[in-house]
Structure 1
Amino acid sequence: MLTDLPSPRQSSARGRRADLTVLGVEAALVLAAFAVGALLNARGVRLWAEAAPIFGAWRPHVGWGTPAAIAVAAAVVWRGVGWARDAPWGRLLAASYLAAVAWALSLALVDGWSKGLATRLTPEAEYLNEVPRVTDISAMLSGFADKIVQTDAGVWSTHTAGHPPGALLIFVWLDRIGLGGGGPAALACVLAGATVAVSVPLALRSLGDQAAARAALPFLVLLPGAVWVGASADGIFAAVVAAGLALLAARRWWLALAGGTVLGFALYLSYGFVLVGVLALAVIALRQRDRLAVLLCGAAGVAGVAAVFTAAGFWWPQGYRLVVERYYQGWAADRPYAYWVWANLASLVLAAGPVLLPALRSTVLAARRYRTASIVLPLAAALAVLVADLSGLSKAEVERIWLPFTVWLVVATARLPEADRRAWLAAQAATALAVNHLLWTWW
C-alpha cells in the first residue's frame, strides 16, 4: 500500500484555501462559458448547443428517478469514504459496481424510462438507426468508408459516419443476440459504463497503488459524467478503454495481449482513441517489471485487431481522412473554435465534477516527489484531453466524448486529504443532480 497519500492531519488551512481558490476559478470558467454561450446564441452564432457549453436545453424538471438519485448520492457521501477504506477488496468492487449502476440509472430515470433511456439511442443521428441496414457484416465493413462523406449515396447517419465501424458493430451484435432496440441498448450503455468503477481501481491496484484505488473509488461511483453514461455509446467506449488499460496493468504480463486486443478494438470505436496511447504508455512505464514484454504483447494485440479490420476492407487512415472531411460538412464548420477551445473545458469540469482542478492541483504538487499511478495517469489523461481540445476536432459535446479520459482524471482525487473527501463527494453529487434537473441533455 502507498504511504504517500495525504492523511487527515495534512488537510491544512493553507491547502483548503488553495483548493477554494481553484474552485473559484472553475466556477468562473463554467459561468463564463454559459454566459458567453447564451450571448452568442442570442446573436445568432451557430453554436448548435442551446445550453452551451453543454449539448442540451434549459428545461428544469424532476422525475421518478429523482428520489432514487438523491438516495444513492446520500448513501455514497455518508458511507463511501469509510467503506472504500475498510471493506474487503472483492466486496468493495462488487458494491461499487452496483452503486455506479444505480447512480447512472437513477439519473437517467429523472427524464423517465422512455425519454431518459429507451429512446435516447433511437433518433436518426444514432447508431440504432443504421442497424436494420446491416444485413451482411462483411459487406458493411468493406463498404463502410464509401458512406462517410455526405456527397456519397447511402451516407451513414451522423454518429455512425463520425466513428469507425466498431461502434456500429456493437449495436449490430446486440441486435443479433436478441437485444435490439433502444431499451436494451441503453441498459447496455449503463451496465458497461459502470464497469469503470471496477476497471480503474483494478489498474491502480495492479500498479501498486491500492490505497489510491480505494481513495478514488467513491468518486468514480458518483461521477457527474454518469449523466451521459446513461445513455450514450460513450459509456461503452469508456468501459472498453478502462478494461484494456486494466488488462495492460495486470501483474501477469501475458494478459497484455488481451489488453492490447481490447485497446485495438477501442481504436475502431473512436478515431480520437489514438490518444489513449498516452495512457497506455504511462501504464507500461509504471509497471515494476516485464515492461518490454507487455509493450510487445500489447502492440501485437492492437496489430491483430487492425489486421482483422483491414482484411475485412476497412482502412483506418482512410476512414480518419474522410471523417475529418465529413466533420467540416456539418455543424463543426459553424461552431467557432475561439469559443469552444475554452468552453470545452467548462464542459469537462461539469462532467468530472468540481473536484477536478483541486485534485489536479494536489497531483501536480505531489508529482515533484512521487511517480505513482495516481499521479502519472491523471496527468497523462490531462495531456490527452489538452491535445484533443487544441486539435479543433472536439468542438462541443465533450461532456460525453471525453468520458474515457475523464474517469482517469478523477483518479487524482486520491491525492485529496481524507478529511475533505466527504465534502467533495457531496459537491460531485450536487453537480450531477443540478445538471440533470436543470438541463435536458440530448444524450
Structure 2
Amino acid sequence: MVLRGRRAPTTPPRLGAVRLVIAGLLVAAAVIAGFVLNAKYPGLTFASAAPIFGEWDLHVGPGTPAAVLIAFLVVAKGPELARHRFALPIAYVTAVAWTFSLAMIDGWERFVTRLTTYHEYLHEVPGITDVPAMLRTFTSRILDYQPDSWTTHTSAHPPGATLTFVALDRVGLGGGTVASIFCVLVGALAVVAVPKAIGDNAVLPFLVLFPGAVWVGASADGMFMGVAAVGIYLLTRWPLLGGVVLGWSLFLSYGLVLLVPLALVAVWQRGELGVTGRRIALAVAGAAAVVGAFAALGFWWYEGYELVKVRYYQGVGTPRPYWYWVWANLAALVLVIGPAGVSGLRKDKWIIAAGLAILAADLSGLSKAETERIWLPFAIWLLAGTAKLDHKKRWLIAQAVTALAVNHLILTEW
C-alpha cells in the first residue's frame, strides 16, 4: 500500500539491509584474513592493509577540514543542485575539489610524487626521445630481467599511457605536479559523462562524493576512468567519435577491453535494430582506426597483452594468492562504491554491464589486489542505481564517511 503523498521505496528496506550486511561482512572478512596472512606470511599479499593496497596509518592532514566541509555542503545541497541549470559544471568543479581535498589528507608532497617513483610512467619519460622508435620496440622491453626492461607500470600497460605523459612533457607540462593534477582533472570528467550517458542527473551528488575519488588523486587509473567514461557517453550521441576515444582507451590499459559490455549498452540506447547496427559499425570503425594507427607504427595490442601476462607472473602475480584476492577484490570494490553504491545495485543495464566487466577481470587472475584503482573505469558505473535511492542525504553521508574513513585510516599507495 502506498500512503497518500508519499512515494513507495524503490528498493525494499529489508533487501537493502541484507545487501549492506553482506557487504560489511565481506569487508570485515577480507580485513581479518589480510591481517592473518600478513602476520603469518609477510609479503604474501604485497598489501599491508589488505584488501586495500597501502599501510594502516591513522592520520590527518591539511585536506581534512576541506574534505569535511565539501562533504557537508554536498550532503546539504547536492540533491537540490542536481536539478540546477548548471548542475553539470557545478558537479565537475565540486568533484575536483573533493578529490584534491582527499589527496591533501596525505599531504602535498605525497600527492605530487606519486607518479614519479621508479615504478611509475614518469620515470621513463626522459628516456623517450624518439616516439616511433619507442613504439616499434615497445613489446621487446615488456618482459622483466633484461637490461632495458620497462619499469612496472610502463611495461604493464600499452604505450598510450606513457605517451600521455610524454606529450605533457613535450608541451612544457612535465613533472609529477602537473601529472597528478592532470589525472584528477581528467578523472573528474566521469562525473559529467556518466549522468549524460544514463540520462539522469539525480546520480550527480553520489558521483561527486564517490569514495573511489580516494584513488583518483592521484593515479593514472583515475585518468583512465575519465577518458573511458567520456568515450562511453560519446557512443550514445556520436558513435564514430566515441569509438575513437574508446580505441584510445585500449592503449591506456589492456583491461579496458572489458568496456565492451558498457559500450554495447551505450550504442543500444535507441533500441532500433537497424539504427543500432549502424551505430555499432561506426563505433567499431572509430576504434579500429586507432588500433590500425598503432599497428602501422609498430605496436600490436594483442602481442603486448600476451607478454604482459608473462610479466605479471614475473612479479607480484605469483606470490599473491588467487584464492584470497578473487573475493577480497570485491571487498575493496565495496569500499570504492560505498554503502549507497551497494544499496543502489539493481537490474539496471548499466550496472549489469559494469558488473560483467568486473567479474571477468576478477576471475581472470590478472587482478590480484590494487583493484580499488584498476577497476575505477568500471566501478563508477555501479553508482547508476543511486539515482533511484530514497533518503538521498542519509546515503550521501554514508558515502562521505566511507571515503573519509579509508583516507584517514590507511596511507594508500595512490
TM-score (norm 2): 0.96
Of the structure 1 ranges 279-288 and 269-278, higher mean CA displacement relative to structure 2 is found in 279-288
8 A contact 2:211–2:402 mirrored in 1: yes
100, 121, 125: which one pairs with 1:131?
125
* CA–CA separation in structure 2 for the residues paired with 1:233 and 1:186: 8
13, 16, 19: which one pairs with 1:19?
16
Q: Indicate yes or no: 2:76 matched with 1:78.
A: yes
Q: Indicate yes or no: 2:258 matched with 1:278.
A: no
- Please give the per-residue CA displacement for 1:9-48, whole angstroms capped at 9, x wherever unaligned: 2128x82232122111111110110000000000015100
* CA–CA separation in structure 2 for the residues paired with 1:153 and 1:141: 18
* CA–CA separation in structure 1 for the residues paired with 2:253 and 2:400: 29
- Please give the per-residue CA displacement for 1:92-120, whole angstroms capped at 9, x wherever unaligned: 001000000000000001111111x1111
Aligned to 2:144: 150
8 A contact 2:326–2:365 mirrored in 1: yes
TM-score (norm 1): 0.90
* CA–CA separation in structure 1 for the residues paired with 2:340 and 2:194: 18
170, 173, 180: which one pairs with 2:174?
180
Give the SS at the match of 2:177. Answer: helix
Amino acid at match of 1:413: T
Q: Indicate yes or no: 2:313 matched with 1:340.
A: no
Aligned to 2:350: 377
58, 66, 69: which one pairs with 1:68?
66
Q: Indicate yes or no: 2:310 matched with 1:325.
A: yes
Q: Indicate yes or no: 2:65 matched with 1:94.
A: no
* CA–CA separation in structure 1 for the residues paired with 2:159 and 2:270: 32
Tell me how far 1:153 sits from its aligned partner: 2.8
Stretches of structure 2 lacking an aligned partner (at least 5 in a row): none
Aligned residues: 407
Tell me how far 1:340 sits from its aligned partner: 0.2
* CA–CA separation in structure 2 for the residues paired with 1:294 and 1:348: 32
Aligned to 2:134: 140
Aligned to 2:228: 241
1:227-376 map, 5 Å: 227-250=214-237, 255-289=238-272, 290-360=275-345, 363-364=346-347, 375-376=348-349
Q: Indicate yes or no: 2:379 matched with 1:435.
A: no
* CA–CA separation in structure 2 for the residues paired with 1:47 and 1:139: 37
Tell me how far 1:217 sits from its aligned partner: 1.0
* CA–CA separation in structure 2 for the residues paired with 1:214 and 1:318: 41
Give the SS at the match of 1:440. Answer: strand
40, 47, 52: which one pairs with 1:43?
40
- Please give the per-residue CA displacement for 1:338-366, whole angstroms capped at 9, x wherever unaligned: 00000000000111112222211xx23xx
Of the structure 1 ranges 277-286 and 303-312, higher mean CA displacement relative to structure 2 is found in 277-286
- Please give the per-residue CA displacement for 1:128-148, whole angstroms capped at 9, x wherever unaligned: 001011001111111100110
* CA–CA separation in structure 2 for the residues paired with 1:126 and 1:384: 25
Tell me how far 1:8 sits from its aligned partner: 5.7
Cα distance, 1:312–1:80 mapped onto 2, change above 3 Å: same
Give the SS at the match of 1:436. Answer: helix
8 A contact 1:146–1:152 mirrored in 2: no
8 A contact 1:77–1:425 mirrored in 2: yes
The CA RMSD measured in Å over matched residues stands at 1.3
Q: Indicate yes or no: 2:28 matched with 1:31.
A: yes
